[in-house]
Amino acid sequence: MSLKSLIVYAYQVKPYQVAGPDWLDQERFDVVAKYPAGASKADAPRMLQSLLENRFKLKVHKSTEEQPVIGLVAGKGGPKLKPSAEKPAPIDDTAPLKPGERKVDGPGGKPMIIRMDVASGAVIVDMGEEGRMSYKLDRAAVPPVMHIEFSMVTMAGFASMLTQLLTQIGGGAGRQIVDMTQIQGNYEASLELSVEDMIAMVKSAGVDLTAGAPANGAAAGEGGPPMASEPRGGGLSLGEAVRSMGLKLESRKAPVEQLVVDHVERKPVEN
C-alpha cells in the first residue's frame, strides 16, 4: 500500500484531506501485524497510527483551510430534477450488518453502508438520510460506461456520492465535490457516464467544466448535450450529465479540514 493509503486508514480521513509530499502516493509498503490480546477491529486505526509514528517518524496536525473544490451549483435555467415520493431512513448504528454489508465513513464523515448485489453486479451505497446510490460498470460497452441510479438523494448526498465514486475510480485522486445549490428535498436520477471521462477527470485532480457544453447557450435537449435519461453511446461526461439535471460543476474554494504531514521518513525503521 502507499503510505498515503495507510495514513488515510489510520487517521480515518479521505485521500483529498491528506497534505504531504508527492511520494506518499507513489512508493509502496507491506505491513504485517498481529492484533494484541483483547484488541478489536475498532482499535486498528489507532494502532496503525502508533506504527506509522514509530516506524516512519510520522508527525501530523489538523487544520482547516480554503482549498480548491468542485462546486455543485444550480444552472442558469434552474434545476431539472425529479422529486422522490419517499424519504430515506437514517442509518441505525446499533443494527447488525447483513451478510455482504460493510460500514464505512462517507466523504462528510457520516456512516454509510455498502454492499454488492451479486445478481446484478451493482454496488449499492446507502448514505442514510442523504439517499442511496447504486452503480454498475458495463464492460461490454465500447467504450465502457458506468450506470448510476440515485434514489431519495439530497443535493448534499448527490455531491458526497459523486466524491465517493470518483475517489474509488481514481485511487484517491481528485477533488471534493461540495453542494452549493441551496436546493432542498429528495430526488431521483439515472445517469450513464463515460468511464474514460471519469478516469481522465480524477487523473487531472480536477474536472473539465467545458466539455460538451452547448453551443451559443443552447439548453440541454435543444442542440446541447443529451439528457441524462437519454444516454448516447459511450455515456455522458460528468459535466454533461450534471448539466442535464439543470446543475453545473464549477471550480470553487471552500473550507476543507486537512491532515497536514509535518514530518515523515521515507525509509521506515526496521523491525
Find, among 215, 171, 222, 188, the residue nearest to 87 by Cα. Answer: 188
Structural domain contains residue 38: no
Tell me if 4 is assigned to some domain. no
Q: Is the pLDDT of residue 141 over 50?
A: yes
- Residue 95 DSSP symbol: S
pLDDT tens-digit series, residues 67-114: 888 899 999 888 899 999 999 999 987 888 888 898 877 655 678 899
Enclosing domain of residue 223: 67-255
- More confident position, 226 or 53: 53
The average confidence (pLDDT) of the chain is 81
In a domain, 178, yes or no: yes
Tell me whether residue 33 is in a domain: no
pLDDT of residue 265: 95
Please give the tally of structural domains in the chain: 1
In this structure, the strands spanning 177-179 and 145-153 are: unpaired
For residue 180, the tally of other CB atoms under 10 A from its CB is 18
Considering the domain boundaries, does residue 18 fall inside one? no
Q: Is the pLDDT of residue 166 over 80?
A: no
Confidence (pLDDT) at 203 = 61
For residue 213, the model assigns a pLDDT of 40
Distance between start and end Cα atoms, the chain: 18
Residue 2 domain-assigned? no
| C-beta neighbour count of 137 within 10 angstroms | 15
* Whole-angstrom distance, CA of residue 222 vs CA of residue 226: 9
| Residue 62: per-residue pLDDT | 95
Query: Is there a domain that residue 50 lies in?
Result: no
Task: Calculate the alpha carbon distances from 123 to 102, 136, 152 in Å.
Answer: 12, 6, 17
> What is the pTM for the complete model shown?
0.68
pLDDT of 228 reads 40
In a domain, 223, yes or no: yes
